[in-house]
Structure 1
Amino acid sequence: MSEPDRAPSGFADLSRSELAILVPELLLSGHLIDRSGMAHSIAAFGREGMAEVAIEEWQVASPVYTRRMQRALGFTGDGVETIFKGLQLDIGAPPQFMDFRYRVHDHRHGEFWLDHCGALADVEPMGESYVRSMCHDIEDPTFDATALATNPHAQVRPIHRPPRVPADRHPVCAWTVVIDDSHVPPPVPANFETVARSQAAQVVLDPIDPLDPGLGDYAGPLLSDLRFGDFSRSALIRMADEVCLQHHLLTLGFLIAVGARAEDAAAADIGRRQFAGIAGLTAERLRLALGLGDDDAALAQVLRRHPAWNPLCYTGVRVDHAEIGVRVRIPKRSGAMTDKVWPALIDATHLAPLDAMARGVNPRFTVHVIDDTDDELAVGFLLAEKPFAESGEVAITRFSTGANFQFADRGIPLPLTVI
């Protein structure tokens, strides 16, 4: 077994309360990947091409990571309750920002609606054509792709959805989920097997310790909201690593879709821009969520928790902090390098995503190469005299209302399972 395979979780030294803060942050970060990626897709391929990229990336990624989370948290099944539990732990539906509400009628019938949709808040100012692209063109095939991970005969269909009439219609949308053996499953997307056989899909993470205080699974009733602090520390570590894999799997789908539409150099440039935009905003939110400062110690903490570098058994990335400063070591052989996801987009001449991460902690940080060998790229960070201007990629991602979104304590969640 290689060294990266034996790496402990990058979240293993966090407390249960810190992890309960971190997991919803990671879910929101995963959702905001598209605020960065789709902006550059529009520039390269137009609105219709952007919609095609979004459909393809979610179709190939969401069934893979949905099944992973079901197995990890012990809620495998073939009914609507299992579908809804999966959505609660899906970067496509981060809690509160995408405020899904659920109703289960029976094993094969249910409804959900959104009391708040952060994605719609981002897109409505862009006009009706973009709303239709998201709420019609993209949602129809991708909702079904997520549901069929649980049951191939599940169909998600709208009761109503945007464009909103009247303009302040609430809830913003509502959908039925029906499982019927007569439903014909949609065709398997062209690149699904590539993602399903990826290194990210095959990563084996540490099992949840059943003796750890708190909930060790989600095998109980469907809850109106997940209160992450109710889960055990071990379960939260597993969730965090699984959510980071969702980031990588979605990015893999994105890069495959972009690569089918652009020459290699142009596709890599779009990938790096997507990476830089979400890298910087995520670093900033992680720093604030964990109550960190803006010095080297804070930078090291943020880099260790960043989804780009986790799970460690997949990326092999090391973050060291010593008197000489913070060092990041990116191995040139790892599962992430094989899949050609985020770490593979970094080299000695393409460091913008690392600059963006560091400047999410302190705008004066700048990255520099320490060593570049056949085995690894090692970089360090220095403080410049004056702060750098925010990069265009981060500024684009900050367009989302998710940039400043605040999670709220909703108290004790209600069970929704039909008795």
Structure 2
Amino acid sequence: MVTSRFAALSRAELAVLVPELLLCGHLIDRSGMAHVLGALGRPGMTGVAIEEWQLASPVYTRRMREALGITGDGVDSIFKGFQLDIGAPPQFMDFRFRVHDHDHGEFHLAHCGALLDVEPMGPEYVVAMCHDIEDPTFDATALATNPHARVRPVHRPPRTPADRTPMCAWVVDIDPAHEPPKPHPDADVVAHSFAARTELDPIDPEGDGRHDYSGPLLNDLRFSDFSHAALVRLADEVCLQQHLLTLGFRFAVQVRTDADTALEIARKQFAGIAGLTSERLRKALGLGDDTAALARVLRIHPVFNPAGYSAVEASVGMSGGEPVVELRIGRDSGAVADGAWAALLDPDHLEPLNALVRGVNPRFFVRAAAADTRTLMIEIALSAMPFVEASEVAITRFSTGATFSFTDRGVPLPLTVL
């Protein structure tokens, strides 16, 4: 196995980085769905959203359970999965849980950033998200923990009155009489991908902090409580969640359009989320905007992680007497074989990479230095003047998640007694 690039970060840096990665993973849909809406209309967009999550969430939920030693099959274990899911980034999607017993529980959302993004678009879009999409995808996520679990609404938007809180409420019941939801007929497309099968280093049980999530369900996860090794694994797993979701997204778009259209939309999705993620990572870690800062962002950006999935190297060099970042993208990686983000780059299609680097400094630009069947070499330099922000990034910035700030909510409290 390849050593994680996140291992070079401190425990404190990783504790800041992991919730950022979860939030940026959630914003992938803000980047992609606007383009799907333009191509397929609201019904097509709804279908793509349902399908991408159905394909991805059971796969990455099982991975996260195994990584963090979540072995139960009760509602508390289902809720643990929600807390570590890009579909429910902490605080932005503020899930509040209650566990009655092994088979019964409930949750509500005190704050739903996704709803605040969609409400201005009108009630039909709210119904599409909170009814049409949530019903099958909540069950698909719970399926990874217990096939007899059902997630059903108590109330949900459109909100009446308009400022109703909590924004929605749900019950979760486990009953052997419940017929398990049928797996998606094309589940193997994502489940058998290189991303799904990527092996990561197990969490070393030495060192300070918690090494797993095997104890009681907590009302919040405070990532600074986890060990360095656990945070490294969490960061890599969240990056894989993003890849798995985008693989499902591209597949769902392609079956409704064609290969060329799906590729074009995938590149636009890539550009939008790559640029916004770079910006958030740079700010979260307090980095500058020079070539050294860019090299650091490239090494930890989810587009190019985990290291065992994406064969990428970034280093600072000199060209014409000026500092540049040299980026080597291997073409024999699992990411390229899957058709993930790295596969969308070639000498004629560097727009997503331009968006990514300009999230660090709007003066950066990329150029292909060399390319063959094995390697794409990129050189990144600074121009004299800043470039206009890519329209794909501007679209993604529509989300309130673009400027969302996490807060320290204190010591987590247990919700289940073991």
Normalising by structure 2, we get a TM-score of: 0.98
Partner of 2:287: 292
Which position in structure 2 is the counterpart of 1:364? 363
Query: How many Å separate the matches in 1 of 2:260 and 2:337?
Result: 18
Name the CA distance, whole Å, in 2 between partners of 1:212 and 1:62: 31
Where do 5+ consecutive residues of structure 2 fail to align?
A: none
Residue 185 of structure 1 and its aligned partner are, at CA, apart by: 1.1
**2:297 matched to which residue of 1?**
302
Q: Does 1:272 align with 2:264?
A: no
- Once the two structures are superposed, residues 115-156 of structure 1 have per-residue CA deviations (whole angstroms, 9 ceiling, x without a partner) of 000000000000000000000000000000000110000000
Task: Work out whether 1:416 is the aligned partner of 2:418.
Answer: no
Q: Give the superposition deviation at 1:157.
A: 0.1
Contact 1:101 1:113 in 2 (8 A): yes
Which residue of 1 is the match for residue 385 of structure 2?
Answer: 386
Q: Unpaired segments of 5 or more residues in structure 1?
A: 1-5
The residue that corresponds to 1:253 in the other structure is 248
Cα separation, 2, equivalents of 1:322 and 1:77: 50
Which of residues 171, 180, 195 in structure 2 aligns to 1:185?
A: 180
Deviation at 1:322, TM superposition (A): 2.8
| Mean CA deviation greater in 275-284 or 260-269 | 260-269
Post-superposition shift, 1:75?
A: 0.9
Residues 4-403 of structure 1 correspond to what in structure 2 (within 5 A)? Answer: 6-324=1-319, 325-403=324-402
SS of the residue corresponding to residue 46 of structure 2 reads: helix
Q: Contact (CA 8 Å) 1:7, 1:316: kept in 2 or not?
A: no
Shift of 1:212: 1.8
SS in 2 for 1:321: strand
Give 2:345's aligned amino acid: I
Amino acid at match of 2:401: G
Distance 2:347 2:253 in 1: 23
In structure 2, distance between residues paired with 1:211 and 1:383: 43
Looking at structure 1, the residues matched to 172 and 259 of structure 2 have their Cα atoms a distance apart, in angstroms, of 40
- Aligned partner of 1:3 in structure 2 is none
Cα-Cα RMSD:
0.8
Alignment deviations for residues 134-182 of structure 1 (CA, whole Å, 9 cap, x no partner): 0000000000000011000000000000000010100000000000011
Give the superposition deviation at 1:323.
3.7
Which residue identity lines up with residue 195 of structure 1 in the other structure?
Answer: V
Partners in 2 of 1:260 and 1:97 — Cα distance?
31
> How many correspondences in the alignment?
414
Residue type at the aligned position of 2:152: R
How far residue 294 of structure 1 moved from its aligned partner, in angstroms, is: 0.5
> How far 1:265 moved relative to its partner?
1.4
Once residues 187 and 416 of structure 1 are traced to their aligned partners in structure 2, the CA distance between those partners, rounded to angstroms, is 31
SS of the residue aligned with 1:416?
coil
* Counterparts of 2:317 and 2:369, CA distance in 1: 15
Q: Is contact 2:311-2:331 (8 Å) kept?
A: no
- Alpha-carbon distance between aligned partners in 2 of 1:20 and 1:391, rounded to the nearest angstrom: 30
Inter-partner Cα distance in structure 2 for 1:370 and 1:323: 13
When structure 1 is superposed on structure 2, of 325-334 and 360-369 the one drifting more is 325-334
Shift of 1:228: 0.2
CA distance in 2, matches of 1:150, 1:317: 34
> CA–CA distance in 2 between the matches of 1:263 and 1:62?
24
1:106 touches 1:418 (CA, 8 Å); kept in 2?
A: no
Identity %: 66
Amino acid paired to 1:134 = M
- 1:223-282 CA distances to partner (integer Å, 9 max, x unpaired)? 110000000000000000000000000000001001111222111000000000000000
Per-residue Cα deviation, 1:291-333 (whole angstroms, up to 9, x for no partner): 0010001100111110000001001111112344211111111
Supply the AA of the counterpart residue of 1:197. H
Q: TM-score, normalised by structure 1?
A: 0.98
- Is the Cα contact below 8 Å between 1:104 and 1:418 reproduced in 2? no
**Cα distance between partner residues in 2 of 1:193 and 1:78:** 23
Give how far 1:338 is off: 1.3
State the 1:418 CA deviation. Answer: 3.8
